[in-house]
Structure 1
Amino acid sequence: MLELRTRRVPGSGPGTRAAALAAGTEAWLPGALAVYDRLFAAAGLAPAQVRRLALAARTALADWASDLAEELDSYAEASGLPAWRIHALNARTELLAAAGAAGRGECSAIAGADAAGATVGAQTWDWHRELAGGWAVLKYPQARQPFVTLTEAGLLAKIGLNSSGVGVLFNVLAHRADTGDGGVAVHAVARRILDTATDVGTAVAILRSAPLAASSCFTLLDADRVACLEASPAGVAELPPARWSVHTNHFRDPELAAGALPTDPDSDSLPRHAVLTARLADAEHQDGAEGLADLLCAHSSDGAGVCCHAQPDAPLGSGWQTLATVALEPGHRRMSVLAGGPCGRPAREWLRFSPG
């Protein structure tokens, strides 16, 4: 079911925000937890191992950003759950990395300057189709930096934009250094950027300060700049500036790529990157982030499935689907979200959000 939920999360402290979020997500959090329990089990993680890794992630988060650890603890309590259950959700990237379950990969992100010179970004969010009903757009109007984020049930943040015009797009990566054990969850890093960063420079500093246990690419943008950083327990590398930043699910920094896990046989990361690079070469006419997002409407017949559709008979863990498409316009302080892939238009329409 492709449904776009929205929730406003008031409160300026961890406890009040957590209570408000728990009240707003009580109907759909149990379903998301059940799917992740199945995904962890399918990846070979026993419940005791999930609990241990989740508590290790909580310890790392408490050392790095104690208020975020407190917020997750409070959210768990308000939801009637042990804290490790919510920390496991937030560390789902790390737990799946610990199990060696990177799989096909997810998400394609692009960013640059449009025909008018405005910084814009867009991405598909590809994830397991069983979680199609497990996400929402959340607005935090009383955060240090008010922000809006597309995120999953129980997760601190994911893709988003804050009131200073700092945007976050990101893609999962896989590296031999990914232990999944005892690092700060990448979704917590996204949250700290969104609720604190005032420009790309401060966002980069936040990312570099986090001890990681799994790899991801963060495409960071504000009204003046785009920076694409590949972040891993082995290090953080900023890719050279380019007219258009394109990232899928393989390392491009030479040093980090040398330690990358072999590309999964089912991955189409390289073809997706090639298709988007070719399309962006002719993208001078694109105006605004929503126009940029139209370039993401590419399927296998176009050379690669940027807009991803799960096979009807795909088993749990391999039913990859574009659950949402996101477009960011930092200069206008606007995030547009489309439920499902970009090919869903015009039957489905963009919904537009501001962080304030």
Structure 2
Amino acid sequence: MSLNIHVSTTTDPAGRGREIGSRWRDRIQATARDYDWLFQAAGLDEPAVRRIAGECLDALHTWEPELATEIRGIAAGAGLPTWRAAALTARTEILVRGKIAGLKECTTAALAVPDRPPRVLQTWDWIPQAENFTILRYTSTAGLGVVTFAENGVVGKVGVNSAGLGVLFTLLCHSSDGTTTGVPVHAVVRRVLDNATTVAQAIETARSAPVTASAALTVVTWNGGRCDAAVVELSPAGSAELRPVGDGYLLHTNHFLDPELATGDRLVAVGDDTVPRLAALRRLSTALTGADRTAWARGLVSHWEDGAPICAHPRADADVTNRWETKMMLTFDLTRPSLIVQEGKPCQVTESRWLEFAA
């Protein structure tokens, strides 16, 4: 696995994109080839991918032109046609129009008590073929320091900004996905990180996005004295805000928890593992009261043989597009603030392998 670290000092979107594309040209091209394979395996030919990527880039230009400009810069720097670079950030929007195998990924857990810094852990799950990732550190045009993790060439995913705001990210599938044109959900996360300093601002930003695929954003903040947190579920059919329940837990897998949006959930309808994963997460959630992030990860170990793969290993008998695995663990320290990551699975976690990146 390759984890690239890129620190950009320019606030010019076009310049940043060209810089990223040029520096990681070979690895971005490799990621594009990985997605070429996945799109084909999902039954999508090149004209369809080109059309959807172009529609998403046009919608993004209308909603957040700076990010569209950055993607064009990435394409120029990496020597890719613009539509192929756009397809990386729009990979979810493309895949929802094909087979949905492979879209079940990621588990997020947050413990948000008002007078304590939040405790969070996300497993990031994806196909074994994906092996190239980037930690991107930069200053947004709003003046916020941002650090975000994503596949090479994708504008953002999980991240933290210098205002003490962090975002976790899980994909969802809704019956309305792919029925409209819209902006990539990964770009929605990026705009939140670039501009929001409060949970309320993050929710407002996310809900302003016209999306064509679904996702859940878990947003947490710490301002030095108070914690705030919420999940915003997004779909083309609408959005919903969820707040911590019980002792302050916000837990999410890959199905809608809002009752109205849940009526259109696609993954539950096909008998996906997301429901037992959430049940296991609820049982194990007290792990977040442990002493440190290593204890949190160890406390959330649950495999296929346990009936709920929070810690996912690829299954040899699964379809080639459905052999997903936990590739990365991500957490935050919002008192610093910083993004903290470790490659691998919760059952493999060690104290010494955490990497920390300040926003």
The equivalent position to 1:136 in structure 2, one of 134, 140, 149, is 134
Which letter maps to 2:176? A
Instruction: Give distance in 2, aligned partners of 1:315 and 1:260.
Output: 22
* 1:14, distance to aligned residue in structure 2 (A): 0.8
TM-score normalised by L of structure 2: 0.92
Matched residue count: 352
* 1:347, distance to aligned residue in structure 2 (A): 8.4
Aligned partner of 2:338 in structure 1 is 334
Aligned partner of 1:236 in structure 2 is 239
Distance 1:300 1:17, change over 3 A: same
Runs of 4+ in structure 1 over 6 Å off:
none
Distance 1:290 1:162, change over 3 A: farther
Give the secondary structure class of the aligned counterpart of 2:174.
Answer: coil
* Runs (5+) with no aligned partner, structure 2: none
- Further displaced range: 63-72 or 173-182: 173-182
Instruction: Give distance in 2, aligned partners of 1:329 and 1:347.
Output: 15
Aligned-residue Cα RMSD (Å) equals 2.1
Distance 1:262 1:323, change over 3 A: closer
Q: Deviations over 1:45-64 (max 9, x none)?
A: 11111111111001100100
* 1:73, distance to aligned residue in structure 2 (A): 0.8
Distance 1:328 1:293, change over 3 A: farther
Aligned partner of 1:267 in structure 2 is 272
Contact kept, 8 Å, 2:5 with 2:134, in 1: the verdict is yes
What does 1:98-247 correspond to in 2, within 5 Å? 98-103=97-102, 105-113=104-112, 117-131=116-130, 133-141=131-139, 143=141, 144-179=143-178, 181-223=180-222, 224-242=227-245, 243-247=248-252
* Runs (5+) with no aligned partner, structure 1: none
Q: Deviations over 1:144-197 (max 9, x none)?
A: 311111101111100000000111111111111101652010000011011111
* Sequence identity percentage: 37
Aligned partner of 1:299 in structure 2 is 303
Instruction: Give distance in 2, aligned partners of 1:312 and 1:303.
Output: 17
* 1:258, distance to aligned residue in structure 2 (A): 0.8
Distance 1:291 1:140, change over 3 A: farther
TM-score normalised by L of structure 1: 0.93
Contact kept, 8 Å, 2:284 with 2:300, in 1: the verdict is no
Q: Deviations over 1:61-82 (max 9, x none)?
A: 0100011111111110121111
* 1:241, distance to aligned residue in structure 2 (A): 2.7
Instruction: Tell whether 2:254 aligns with 1:249.
Output: yes
User: Which has the bigger relative contact order, CA under 8 A and spacing at least 6?
Assistant: 1
Contact kept, 8 Å, 2:140 with 2:195, in 1: the verdict is no
Instruction: Give distance in 1, aligned partners of 2:105 and 2:352.
Output: 22
The equivalent position to 1:278 in structure 2, one of 276, 280, 283, is 283
Instruction: Give distance in 2, aligned partners of 1:302 and 1:236.
Output: 32
Instruction: Give distance in 2, aligned partners of 1:26 and 1:54.
Output: 20
